[in-house]
Amino acid sequence: MYSYVARQPILDEQKNIKAYELLFRDGKSNAFPDIDPDEATSNILTNNHLTLGLEKVTANLPAFINFHEDALLKHFPSFLDPASVIIEILEDVPASNALLQTCKLLKKKGFKLALDDFELDSKWNKFLPYIDIIKFDILAVSFEEIAEFIKQVNLSHLVFLAEKVETLEQFEELKSIGCTLFQGYFFAKPEIMKQKRLSMSKQSILELLSYSSEEQFDFNEMSALFEQDPGLTYKLLRFINSPIYGRRQEITSLKHALVYIGDIELKKFIALLALSDLCQDKPTEIMRMSLARAKFCEQISKHRQDNENPPKAFLTGILSLIDGILDQDLNTVMNILPIHCEIKAALISGENYLSTYLILSQSIERGNWAQSAMVCNELNLNFDTCSEAHQTALEWADDILSVN
């Protein structure tokens, strides 16, 4: 039996990741939308399906976990650690006296509580002294209403979180009215609408990235490139001796290092180096998501026995957020990247097998289990296999970031 997990980052005003919201389901059947949410959440928690380790899913950051009425009032799990979990009370839970007593009890135990999709309804006023975080769905509540509520409420301990934030403009305005935590996909979108010229350094990095799509390397040419940058050389040697690759080798030259790591791993390594440099001054999550998508797409390609395609799948995943990383229109980036036509087609038009791998990755990321199951079926893959691949990809991405 498996438990299926999707995570969405929660960021602060500086776009640092402070926590993740986790979406849990119990078993393959929960990929479909007609499952009772209270039953699903309650079963997962009471049956201790969190034993996969919250720290592995959240990279040791706090986890927001959704709770419905029954799970809160009757089956709250005693094994959860108050230091690592924020209890998120969903909007459809009745504001009853029983819930109020439960909130008081949870606060005494040291848990932080969040009200999801806050309705600006006075029925919740008596709960506010015990609530730590209020989440606003900005598609359901106007910015003016949010600003007025924050101004009127007289509780300094409350933290305000805006969810479904999609643009930089929304992010900046929400900051100005008092929100300090944010949830959504704004970090993965270009932050500036007008075109910016790429600097020469970024142009060089993109040229380096293009090597990862070539069928064969010229190791003499590659070693000459690394010789020009001591930082690249250091990172190369560090990666070779990292636990990620499981190798311990005395390297005698740059060419030796490049040959030793091998074509396939070297292609990955170049992509990682390039992405790492391009992601400077960007939220860590955009790097993490790019890495996880790359590893996931690679694994899916292997499961489908596309023997020649795992490197293409890897590069497709790692480039899936490149427009947001560079603050450039995707077509502009594709025009200056000499990558394989199938990768370009997957990223621009989304009309080939590589784009299907990417769609599957995105649907699992967002907890869209119905779409995930449909795409798995289209690819003739087992849903459990894909879920395991996604978890492996997240762990791999976290490991890579710990090495950098």
Would you state the structure tokens that stand for residue 118, as one six-digit string?
Answer: 């806050």
Q: Answer whether residue 194 is part of any domain.
A: no
Are 149 and 229 part of one and the same domain?
A: no
Domain boundary among 188, 217, 246: 188
pTM beyond cutoff 0.85: no
Are 78 and 172 part of one and the same domain?
A: yes
Are 285 and 375 part of one and the same domain?
A: yes
CA atoms in the 13 A half-sphere facing the CB of 347:
30
Considering just the CA atoms, what is the radius of gyration of the chain in Å?
A: 23
Are 108 and 150 part of one and the same domain?
A: yes
Taking the CB of residue 299, how many other CB atoms lie within 10 A of it?
Answer: 23
Per the CB < 8 A criterion, the answer to whether 348 and 331 are in contact is: yes
Domain boundary among 188, 219, 243: 188
The pLDDT of residue 318: 83
The residue written with tokens 């292997």 in the block is 302
Please write down the HEC assignment for all residues of the chain: CCEEEEEEEEECCCCCEEEEEEEEEECHHHHCCCCCHHHHHHHHHHCCHHHHCHHHHHCCCCEEEEECHHHHHCCCCCCCCCCCEEEEECCCCCCCHHHHHHHHHHHHCCCEEEECCCCCCHHHHHHHHHCCEEEEECCCCCHHHHHHHHHHCCCCCCEEEEEEECCHHHHHHHHHCCCCEEEECHHHCCCCCCCCCCCHHHHHHHHHHHHHHCCCCCHHHHHHHHHCCHHHHHHHHHHHCCCCCCCCCCCCCHHHHHHHHCHHHHHHHHHHHHHHHHCCCCCHHHHHHHHHHHHHHHHHHHHCCCCCCHHHHHHHHHCCCHHHHHCCCHHHHHHHCCCCHHHHHHHHCCCCHHHHHHHHHHHHHCCCHHHHHHHHHHCCCCHHHHHHHHHHHHHHHHHHHHHC
Angle between helices 219-227 and 254-261 (to 10 degrees): 130
CA atoms of 353 and 304, how far apart (whole Å): 11
Each residue's pLDDT, cut to its tens digit, for the chain (404 residues) gives: 445 567 788 999 988 889 988 875 444 443 433 445 555 454 444 433 344 456 767 778 898 988 888 778 875 666 678 888 899 998 888 999 999 999 999 999 899 999 999 988 888 999 999 999 999 999 999 999 999 999 988 788 999 999 988 887 899 999 999 999 999 876 554 443 334 444 435 555 666 666 665 666 666 766 666 655 555 666 666 666 555 555 555 555 666 667 767 776 777 777 777 777 777 666 678 888 888 998 999 899 999 887 656 778 888 888 888 887 777 778 877 876 667 788 889 998 888 999 999 999 999 888 888 899 999 999 999 998 998 999 899 888 887 777 55
The residue written with tokens 């706090």 in the block is 62
CA atoms of 369 and 256, how far apart (whole Å): 46
The pLDDT of residue 192: 37
CA atoms of 263 and 216, how far apart (whole Å): 7
Phi-psi label, residue 180: left if phi above 0, alpha if psi -120 to 50, beta otherwise: alpha
Q: Answer whether residue 195 is part of any domain.
A: no
Residue 145's alpha-carbon distances to 116, 140, 226, 281, 358, in angstroms, are 16, 10, 55, 32, 37
- Look at the chain and report how many structural domains it folds into: 2
Per the CB < 8 A criterion, the answer to whether 132 and 107 are in contact is: no
Residues near 331 by Cβ (< 8 Å), separated by ≥ 6?
348
CATH number at residue 160: 3.20.20.450
**Quick one: 360 exposed, middle or buried, by C-beta within 10 A (0-12, 13-18, 19+)?**
buried
CA atoms of 146 and 191, how far apart (whole Å): 24
Are 213 and 341 part of one and the same domain?
A: yes
Per the CB < 8 A criterion, the answer to whether 18 and 360 are in contact is: no
Domain boundary among 133, 166, 188: 188
CA atoms of 403 and 374, how far apart (whole Å): 36
CA atoms of 24 and 136, how far apart (whole Å): 21
The pLDDT of residue 195: 41
Are 153 and 208 part of one and the same domain?
A: no
Are 35 and 151 part of one and the same domain?
A: yes
The pLDDT of residue 33: 38
Angle between helices 341-348 and 353-365 (to 10 degrees): 40
Are 135 and 278 part of one and the same domain?
A: no
Q: Answer whether residue 330 is part of any domain.
A: yes
Are 27 and 156 part of one and the same domain?
A: yes
Are 205 and 178 part of one and the same domain?
A: no
Q: Answer whether residue 8 is part of any domain.
A: yes
Taking the CB of residue 133, how many other CB atoms lie within 10 A of it?
Answer: 23
The pLDDT of residue 200: 38
CATH number at residue 394: 1.10.3210.10
Are 173 and 300 part of one and the same domain?
A: no
Per the CB < 8 A criterion, the answer to whether 276 and 268 are in contact is: no
Are 163 and 221 part of one and the same domain?
A: no
Residues of the domain holding 63:
3-188
